[in-house]
């Protein structure tokens, strides 16, 4: 027993962090002592519950039977002269000593319990590999080790431990020993190793067992834990964690290489790296200086890395703790380990030292409240159920000091072997091992989410971060470099080597006239039964241009054009450019109010239109040219080309896009940018004079510029879509075939619809088609797979991306059939000629590959800016931080993207309230601003929801000023008077209040989906109707202690939890006399959904339902819903 002086000296020798922890634990110890009960041996007849830790593992086993993630290996290399009989005796002694080795599980009254057998026979198979070659031996050992690590246990039949002895030679053996996680943890491996060595040493010398009798067994601890952790003890622990984790986000999505599977998987791999010795020493010095442990310092650095990877400034990270705080259980093999949740807030861009102080405080608080089992914490907090991820946290971080891995006896050396388990309990586990030789870091990752290359980059970034931290720990965490020099060079410069020697001194009219000179008789444009050849189109455009010159049109003079699709539309566009003017397309389907704003805002001097549209336009201050009534007058003008004095910097057109203020904003594009764009896409797509190109897009959408001018500047034919063409996909494809169209440029939603219909089409892909360009929205990879099946390699497919401010197309992606994309959408590719793209953080620094950042665009395609909006232009078009060219700019797109390892870009979404719906760019704020002016709307918010993949739609949420809320038809009619049709929400949801989070901001996640929205339970109660619904309801009512359960009520909304669902599952299987996968109860969490699923699901031959059929039907049902919605929402 140490003296008081020894204890005082030991206290002084502790680091400041450990002293602080000791003091905190001492302060709470006095409060605990009165509640602590002695762990005593149980009566032999007493039923033994499972511990909280076992409960969760048991539940996971029910959810995914035969899983391999819950196996604890303790393999050992035995070098020297082995007595296998004594080894067997030792193992049998350990089984007799520790009851957990004789424990299985049963279910009593719906609850799992432990069953301890008096004896268990453990067979130890012997495998002789000594007669094989060295390479065969090594392969066999690896195979057998992996097999023992992955072969499942059966919790009800047991045993939950197994062993196998491999003979490699007379002096070398390997003992394969595996335990189920319900009966052992990592600490237990050390106990097993020490006791096995001690027994073997004693038995070989003829002695009896040197091990003292265990005071208690694991089952005794289980009873004690259930009795002790209740009342005031439980309340104190729960109160701390409820306060500590209040409002914390319970998901952390590290950028992954693949989409998250719908159900959590445990396939894994390990990547290891070693911190350089000098770096490790400097980290330890820094830790001591700041009164922290090495664990705290490394955790703070790792959280900085996660913050930089995810942008999430409130993180929950799991960390294991041995949880052996009582002397009675220190020598027990069993599942004692607990998981603590360390919450760290990184908001405000603190310095690393400030962050370290936050981490220290959070960690110390967690240690002081470590008695609450993680399983109980989940039960109390009731986080949103998501079977695709671990609850509360998905990333684990741990530090372990060096264990005694080997022990040498006179004739035999025992050595614990590290095992590559090929499993991962979490998305990512970072394990730090502090040894005398150095500090090792292991990254165990889920291989269904991450590639090895991704983890290698993360490990390198972690080390780079640590190196910069020890150099200057006062740096703010957003300023600490992550990228290596070579990475930075590659991302900023190598991936942007796109220079092409285009003739930028030319403008569009000159380049068009060059095509006219080369092929005057080639067909330039066709619309229904009318057509014009290049020479004819040029002459008529020249005549109109001469007239426009008389009206004062020249460079920098803006001319409106409002025409329906026709030959005159093509003539008008060319004529405005030939006169030197800047054209502003005005869609005749727009509301009068919007058209009036555009005419006024653009200060349009001349308007080119047709007689029947003139009345729709406010033209009091504008000179008007009606082409359908001016034919004779225009014929008097000269038809020859002329020089209008255009320069590359002069404006070519203005496209109006949605604006957040409630008014659209005009984007002014110069000729230099249009020329670069057209030459770039002509080269990229290989456009030829033999091509026939469809003009599909609205003239007010900038893709129309690409459809028209890239065709004309390559000598191809433009074919306008007929006015009376049916919206039917079959009619559209018939038109493509009839017109022998070779090039289509379609919005992604339209292509999605086409792909869905491919199996039902007689001619799914027109024979004339050679090139298909899609864009303006996210394209789904699964649609690509179907497309490639039908189109093969005959049709080139490109996914294009580009904002109006960067002239239509900035990047292009051509799919590779041999390497299908793995993300949630098709990549958007690499930059076109003379364009540069950068993924940057908020400090305008490049982010690592795979990490989301904002997309910035530079190069020759940039717009001049926003019309009459100098402040907005200065805000969005910023000085180029990576260019040496004077005056170079970058456009801040507001789009969130990431770069893949090869530099290919993947679009992820928007950073603001701007979205794209069916190819149209929409500012949600513009809709909100208009909707808020309705007299019956008190407050409102508009979201773009994608409740089904690829089916994005606008949903308006609002509160009303009157007791009677406005109807959907009233609101739609009101909005149609102020905004275009494509901006109208698909659904209007009237709520009592708009939900807000703890910060008083709108809680987006709490806004209901239109499919699942229902009023309060009292108002929406629907009584069960069918026999199966009544059966489910009765079981739910009993389990939940609720008198009435409606068919639409969600099990978890009513207070249900995972363990309760286990009880319901068993009762339901018994009541319906059929086996139902437990996962189905989570997927179909309402009575109506579950009954519908069960009624529509046939039994397999063995009475079970194969999971593949379950998923297949669900996917088919989703696909049918998508097709129905596609018919309603065609672009």
Crossing angle of helices 352-368 and 294-310, in 10° steps, is: 110
For residue 144, whether the previous peptide bond is cis, meaning omega lies within 30 degrees of 0, is: no
Structural contact between residues 454 and 257, judged by C-beta atoms closer than 8 angstroms: yes
Boundaries of every domain in the chain: 4-33, 48-221, 248-404+420-492, 508-646, 913-1006, 1022-1128
Burial pattern 250-279, b for ≥16 Cβ within 10 A else e, equals bbbebbbbeebeebbbbebbbbeeebeeeb
CA 301 – CA 616 distance, rounded (Å): 63
Q: What are the phi and psi torsion angles at 445 (to 5°)?
A: -130, 155
Of 546, 712, 551, give the one whose Cα is nearest residue 644.
546
Instruction: Kindly tell me the burial class for residue 368, based on how many C-beta atoms sit within 10 Å of its own C-beta (0-12, 13-18, 19 or more).
Output: middle
CATH number of 508-646: 3.40.50.980
Give the Å distances, CA to CA, from 1028 to 797, 1037, 1100. Answer: 49, 14, 19
Place of tokens 């004779």: 632
Of 78, 73, 72, give the one whose Cα is nearest residue 166.
78
Fold match between domain 48-221 and domain 248-404+420-492: yes
Percent of the chain with pLDDT over 90: 62
Q: How are beta strands 623-626 and 606-609 bridged, if at all?
A: parallel
Helices (H), 342-451: 352-368, 374-381
Q: How are beta strands 865-866 and 877-879 bridged, if at all?
A: unpaired
Q: What is the DSSP string of 978-1023?
A: TS-GGGS-SEEEE-SS--B-TTSSB-GGGSPPTTT----HHHH---
Whether the model pTM is above 0.85: no
CA 685 – CA 232 distance, rounded (Å): 72
Homologous superfamily (CATH) of 48-221 is Chloramphenicol acetyltransferase-like domain (3.30.559.10)
pLDDT at 895: 92
> Would you say domain 1022-1128 falls under CATH 1.10.10.10?
no
**CA geometry: angle at 357 spanning 355 and 358, to 5°?**
65
- Which segments within 465-595 are labelled E, that is strand? 523-527, 530-533, 558-562, 582-585
CA 441 – CA 459 distance, rounded (Å): 8
CA 95 – CA 183 distance, rounded (Å): 12
Q: What are the phi and psi torsion angles at 697 (to 5°)?
A: -75, 155
Mean pLDDT of the chain: 87
Structural contact between residues 905 and 897, judged by C-beta atoms closer than 8 angstroms: yes
**CA geometry: angle at 766 spanning 762 and 771, to 5°?**
145
Of 780, 1086, 728, 763, give the one whose Cα is nearest residue 948.
780
Report the largest interatomic distance among the alpha carbons of the chain, rounded to a whole angstrom.
123
Residue 197, token pair as written in the block: 């060595």
For the CA atoms of 159, 165, 166, 168, the dihedral, rounded to the nearest 10 degrees, stands at: 160
Structural contact between residues 1007 and 943, judged by C-beta atoms closer than 8 angstroms: yes
Q: What is the DSSP string of 681-746?
A: HHHHHT--TT-EEEE-S-TTSTHHHIIIIIHHTTT-EEEEPPTT--S-HHHHHHHHHHTT--EEEE
CATH-assigned architecture of domain 913-1006: 2-Layer Sandwich (3.30)
Residue 896, token pair as written in the block: 């969130």
Element spanning 528, H or E: none
Q: How are beta strands 853-859 and 835-840 bridged, if at all?
A: antiparallel
CA 51 – CA 372 distance, rounded (Å): 12
CA 184 – CA 717 distance, rounded (Å): 74
Q: Which fold has domain 248-404+420-492?
A: Chloramphenicol Acetyltransferase (3.30.559)
Cα Rg for the chain, rounded, in angstroms? 35
Residue 351, token pair as written in the block: 């310095």
List all residues 6 or more positions away from 132 whose beta carbon is below 8 Å from its beta carbon: 140
CA torsion sign, 973 to 975 to 981 to 982?
A: negative
Q: What is the DSSP string of 1103-1128?
A: S---HHHHHHHHHHHHHHHHHHHHHH
Structural contact between residues 833 and 501, judged by C-beta atoms closer than 8 angstroms: no
Give the Å distances, CA to CA, from 102 to 113, 119, 161, 1015. Answer: 14, 7, 9, 53
Residue 445, token pair as written in the block: 């990752």
pLDDT at 258: 86
CA 246 – CA 257 distance, rounded (Å): 31
Place of tokens 């309340």: 235
Place of tokens 């990270």: 317
Element spanning 1039, H or E: helix 1027-1040
Question: Which residues are 907's β-sheet partners?
Answer: 897
Task: Give the rounded distance of the alpha carbon of 100 from its chain centre.
Answer: 41
**CA geometry: angle at 831 spanning 700 and 491, to 5°?**
140
Tell me the CB-side half-sphere exposure of residue 246, using CA atoms within 13 A.
Answer: 9
Phi and psi based region of residue 903 (left: phi greater than 0; alpha: psi -120 to 50; beta: remaining)? left
List all residues 6 or more positions away from 237 whose beta carbon is below 8 Å from its beta carbon: 229, 369, 371, 372
Assign 293 to helix, strand or coil. Answer: coil
Listed as ranges, residues in the chain with pLDDT below 50 are 1-12, 26-27, 30-35, 998-999, 1012-1020, 1099-1131
């Amino acid at each position: 027993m140490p003296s008081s002086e020894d204890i005082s000296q030991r206290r002084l020798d502790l680091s400041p962090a450990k002293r602080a922890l000791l003091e905190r634990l001492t302060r709470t110890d006095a409060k605990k002592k009165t509640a602590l009960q002695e762990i005593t041996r149980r009566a032999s007849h007493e039923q033994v519950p499972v511990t909280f830790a076992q409960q969760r593992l048991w539940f996971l086993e029910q959810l995914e039977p035969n899983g391999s993630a819950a196996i604890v290996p303790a393999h050992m290399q035995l070098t020297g002269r082995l007595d296998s009989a004594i080894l067997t005796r030792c193992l049998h002694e350990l089984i007799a000593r520790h009851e957990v080795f004789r424990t299985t599980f049963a279910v009593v009254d719906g609850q799992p319990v432990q069953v301890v057998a008096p004896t268990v026979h453990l067979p130890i198979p012997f495998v002789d590999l000594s007669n094989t070659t060295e390479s065969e031996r090594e392969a066999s050992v690896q195979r057998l080790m992996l097999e023992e690590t992955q072969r499942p246990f059966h919790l009800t039949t047991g045993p939950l431990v197994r062993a196998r002895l491999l003979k490699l030679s007379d002096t070398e053996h390997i003992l394969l020993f595996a335990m189920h996680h319900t009966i052992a943890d990592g600490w237990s491996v050390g106990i097993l190793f020490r006791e096995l060595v001690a027994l073997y040493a004693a038995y070989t010398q003829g002695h009896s067992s040197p091990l003292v009798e265990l005071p208690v067994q694991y089952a005794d601890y289980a009873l004690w834990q259930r009795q002790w952790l209740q009342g005031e003890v439980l309340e104190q622990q729960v109160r701390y964690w409820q306060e500590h984790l209040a409002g914390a986000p319970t998901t952390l999505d590290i950028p992954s290489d693949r989409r998250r599977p719908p159900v959590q998987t445990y396939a894994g791999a390990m990547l290891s790296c070693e911190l350089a010795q000098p770096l490790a020493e400097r980290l330890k010095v820094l830790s001591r200086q700041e009164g922290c442990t090495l664990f705290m310092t490394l955790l703070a650095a790792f959280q900085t890395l996660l913050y930089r990877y995810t942008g999430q400034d409130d993180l929950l990270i799991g960390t294991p703790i041995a949880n052996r705080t009582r002397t009675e259980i220190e020598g027990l093999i069993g599942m004692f380990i607990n998981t603590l949740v360390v919450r760290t807030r990184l908001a405000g861009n603190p310095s690393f030292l400030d962050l370290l102080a936050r981490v220290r405080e959070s960690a110390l608080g967690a240690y002081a409240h470590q008695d609450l089992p993680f399983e109980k914490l989940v039960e109390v907090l009731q986080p949103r159920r998501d079977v695709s991820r671990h609850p509360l946290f998905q990333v684990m971080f741990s530090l372990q000091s060096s264990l005694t891995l080997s022990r040498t006896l006179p004739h035999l050396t025992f050595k614990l072997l590290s095992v590559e388990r090929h499993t991962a309990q979490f998305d990512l586990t970072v394990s730090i091992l502090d040894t005398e030789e150095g500090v090792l870091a292991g990254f165990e990752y889920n291989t269904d989410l991450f590639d090895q290359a991704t983890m290698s980059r993360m490990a390198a970034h972690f080390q780079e971060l640590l190196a910069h931290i020890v150099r200057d720990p006062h740096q703010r965490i957003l300023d600490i470099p992550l990228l290596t020099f070579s990475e930075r060079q590659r991302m900023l410069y190598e991936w942007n080597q796109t220079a092409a020697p285009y003739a930028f001194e030319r403008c569009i009219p000159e380049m068009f006239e060059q095509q006219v000179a080369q092929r005057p008789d080639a067909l330039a444009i066709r619309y229904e039964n009318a057509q014009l050849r290049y020479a004819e189109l040029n002459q008529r455009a020249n005549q109109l241009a001469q007239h426009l010159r008389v009206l004062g049109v020249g460079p920098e003079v803006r001319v409106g054009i409002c025409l329906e699709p026709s030959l005159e539309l093509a003539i008008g566009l060319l004529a405005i450019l030939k006169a030197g003017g800047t054209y502003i397309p005005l869609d005749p389907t727009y509301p009068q109010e919007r058209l009036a704003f555009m005419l006024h805002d653009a200060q349009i001097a001349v308007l080119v239109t047709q007689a029947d549209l003139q009345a729709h336009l406010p033209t009091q201050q504008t000179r008007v040219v009606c082409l359908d009534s001016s034919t004779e007058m225009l014929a008097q003008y000269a038809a020859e080309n002329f020089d209008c004095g255009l320069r590359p910097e002069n404006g070519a057109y203005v496209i109006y896009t949605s604006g957040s203020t409630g008014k659209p904003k005009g984007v002014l594009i110069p000729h230099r940018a249009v020329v670069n764009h057209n030459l770039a896409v002509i080269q990229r797509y290989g456009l030829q004079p033999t091509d026939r190109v469809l003009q599909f897009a609205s003239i007010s959408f900038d893709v129309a510029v690409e459809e028209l001018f890239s065709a004309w500047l390559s000598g191809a034919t433009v074919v306008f879509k007929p006015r009376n063409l049916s919206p039917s996909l079959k009619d559209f494809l018939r038109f493509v075939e009839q017109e022998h169209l070779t090039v289509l440029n379609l919005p992604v939603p339209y292509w999605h619809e086409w792909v869905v219909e491919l199996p039902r089409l007689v001619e799914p892909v027109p024979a004339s088609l050679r090139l298909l360009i899609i864009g303006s929205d996210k394209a789904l990879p699964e649609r690509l797979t179907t497309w490639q099946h039908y189109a093969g390699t005959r049709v080139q497919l490109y996914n294009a991306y580009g904002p109006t401010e960067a002239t239509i197309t900035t990047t292009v992606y051509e799919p590779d059939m041999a390497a299908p994309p793995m993300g949630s959408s098709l990549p958007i590719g690499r930059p076109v000629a003379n364009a540069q793209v950068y993924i940057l953080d908020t400090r305008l620094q490049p982010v690592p590959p795979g990490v989301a950042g904002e997309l910035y665009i530079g190069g020759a395609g940039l717009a001049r800016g926003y019309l009459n909006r100098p402040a907005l232009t200065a805000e969005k078009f910023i000085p180029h931080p990576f260019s040496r060219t004077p005056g170079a700019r970058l456009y801040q797109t507001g789009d969130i993207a990431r770069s893949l390892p090869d530099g290919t870009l993947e679009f992820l979404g928007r950073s603001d309230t701007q979205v794209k719906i069916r190819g149209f760019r929409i500012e949600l704020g513009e809709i909100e601003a208009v909707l808020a002016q309705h007299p019956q709307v008190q407050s409102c918010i508009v979201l773009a929801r994608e409740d089904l993949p690829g089916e994005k739609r606008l949903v308006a949420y609002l509160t009303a000023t009157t007791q009677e809320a406005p109807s959907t038809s009233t609101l739609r009619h009101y909005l149609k008077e102020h905004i275009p049709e494509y901006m109208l929400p698909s659904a209007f949801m009237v709520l009592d209040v708009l939900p807000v989070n703890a910060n008083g901001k709108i809680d987006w996640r709490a806004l209901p989906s239109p499919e699942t929205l229902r009023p309060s339970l009292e108002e929406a109660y629907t009584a069960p109707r069918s026999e199966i619904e009544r059966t489910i309801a009765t079981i739910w009512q009993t389990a939940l202690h609720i008198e009435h359960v409606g068919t639409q009520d969600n099990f978890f909304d009513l207070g249900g939890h995972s363990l309760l669902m286990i009880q319901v599952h068993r009762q339901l299987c018994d009541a319906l006399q059929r086996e139902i996968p437990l996962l189905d109860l989570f997927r179909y969490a309402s009575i109506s959904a579950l009954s519908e699923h069960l009624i529509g699901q046939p039994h397999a031959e063995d009475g079970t339902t194969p999971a593949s059929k379950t998923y297949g039907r669900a996917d088919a049902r989703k696909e049918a819903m998508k097709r129905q919605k596609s018919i309603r929402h065609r672009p």
